[in-house]
Chain A
Amino acid sequence: MHSAGCLLRVSTLGKSYGPVQALNDVDFDLRAGEVHALVGENGAGKSTLSRIVAGLTAADRGRLEFKGQPYAPANRKDAERQGVHMVMQELNLIPTLSIAENLFLDCLPNRWGWIDRARLRAESQVLLERVGLGGLDPNLPVSQLGVGQQQLVEIARSLWRRCEVLILDEPTAALTDPEVELLFALIQGLRGAGTGIVYISHRLEEIQRIADRLSVLRDGRMTGTRAVSDVSLEKIVRLMVGRDLDSETLHESRTAGPVALAVRGLTCAGCVRDVSFEVRRGEILGFAGLMGSGRTETLRAVFGADPLERGEIHLHGSERPARIRSPRDAVRQGIALLTEDRKAQGLLLPLAVRANITLAALRAVAEKWGLVRRADEAGVARDWVQKLAIRCHSEEQPAAELSGGNQQKVVVARWLFRDCDILIFDEPTRGIDVGAKFEIYRLLNELAGRGKAVIVVSSDLMELMAICDRIAVMSAGRLAATFARGEWTQDKIMAAALREHLTTKPLSRSDDAPPAARN
């Protein structure tokens, strides 16, 4: 039945991957001019549903209707021709091509195959303005962009086309507040123009702000659709996870121990200038800041992943600066870094979950002379799969087949198994569902409670305020301020994050060539 305004209807949809039933008998509908949020735990099937609608995967069962007509896109291009677009969860840009070329990849303006560069540039400029990246040179290779900027470019890519259905699969996972605001403005504009938007996110407060209706997926089944105004946050969580989450215990008060890591005058090529901070045992230090403010660069330098120009790193209160020239040095001295780009820098995608978990501490499950004890290894992996509730059908499943959030948990498990004293988490909850997020918060708390020094970088300010003992705020490569628990407010932190941008010319990625490309 085609009711007025019902743009897209999905009924009894089913899809399985081997033994995994990713979608089971799912019904879903989208009206023109609404923002329909899709939520659910990691691996619930949100991306799978979106991919089917966008023509990237074929369903096993069920039917789709688009504007009252049967709809079966042969591939993505076909779907886009009909007006269904999707911004995918994982970045799919081509790093060696320029921003402009990526924006228009499947329809580069050309005359007999010859690219019209002036037009390409002009049109890209317009698109970039719309997503707030007006300062970027469209001819810059994408390899020189940070994750957040890439995400915005991905979004820009879908914006210019005739768009009746737009699916955003976790668009804000790598964005900080200002960009999120910008994105919301864009979404409002599209909604006004009658586009139906499917919005997938694990940040529930966002959903409360912009969504009209909400559907919850659990284990591949739809548990129901309702108006967002009718449900409270707690209720959404209950629908997703099937139980209540206890948000009271997010932060346990503990007494911080001696200084574990002290960084003095850290400067590295380009984007980190004179950063000093310290973190104590049993303390969680948060790093806030705008996108590109240098948080990642700072911590990578501490970890020895990038060379540092100046600065000293002292461990465990020692007066002698530690020698950290490579990640190996860092790990040996008890520092761990969970990278922000799990796909490129964290996972061994084709290898088993087991191999991914034990990678950093393989020797712990091996004989002295190098034989891996397979039973032990599998046992360890199974343990962690259980402890972190990683959703996979066995620890032998390749990491590539896991949902994004579960992949993240695999990387977390690797470092928890390695058991370092100083743990640096760069965007640990990126793309992780609330249930798992709370699980990770609990873990961070527990780690701090066990006397570890924990550093958390996050673009989600609420999250930092919920779990940290102190928050350091970076702004344009400098450390703008550090707040202790109780001293901070959201406004104070945002003001600090913007401080350098107001006083000095911001570092713009377009005039500065990159330090070694990271993706």
Chain B
Amino acid sequence: GPQSQTPGKPRIALIMKSLANEFFLTMENGARAHQKAHADEYDLLANGIKDELDVAKQVELVEQMVAQKVDAIVIAPADSKALIGVCKKAQDAGVVVVNIDNKFDDAVLAGQKIKLPFVGPDNRKGARRVGDYLAKQLKPGDKVAVIEGPPNAFNGQQRGLGFDDAMNAAGMKIVSSQSGYWETDKANQVAAAIITENPDLKAFLCANDSMALGAVAALRAAGKLDQVKVVGYDNISAVQTLLKEGKILATADQHADQIAVFGIEYALQLLKTKTAPADRETPVDLITAESLAGK
């Protein structure tokens, strides 16, 4: 809803990726809750794009926020390169910019001599942990398949790399890596075809939980739920039961609600002290049936 807009208080814009994704919604809710608790310290403008491929819309959001004269922008960029230019412009216009969730490309930042502080998880590390956990349940040489995010989604790529790292380290055979575009339906189609083509498949590594749901449905349809293991990423609410039932073996929790809050606190600090604290890596937790039981 419309924000209370008391002049004097700093205004912070939170710009997220796909609001179609539960992850960012959690992020937004965390931020809004934080703002409510600290209503006297700052105002919050939370925005996101419809789907995370729509980079142009996100660039426009940044421009819009600069035009709205916000004091700080906390951004989870949909593309690790395409947003750098506009963020630099925002910085030049005197707006504090904090990068969260998805890290800007280091090479480009260095080449352009731009410093944008980063707060967020390491997707590759997180995926590696999920993969390692899965590997423990398999034998070396087992066939596995990866269902990736959209081809140029940075975090998707990182998760894919993390899965690859883990599988290669454990000596598994990756028979197929295809994109499921973050969607249940598309992942389901791809997974079904992979199962048919590789009847002896042992596991699916999915770059997010929605796609894991699609893979589980494909396995159920093929009657192979107990032969093929599935892991996901994100720990959305819908997979809790599946984890407990063992239909999904593991997933990773990046604490979406915390990421934005850390970013906002970081921005507030920058506004107050004008000195940048160091980059901060937020935790990624491995979630399994045991860890859920332990809670």
A–B contact, 8 Å CB criterion (strictly below) = no
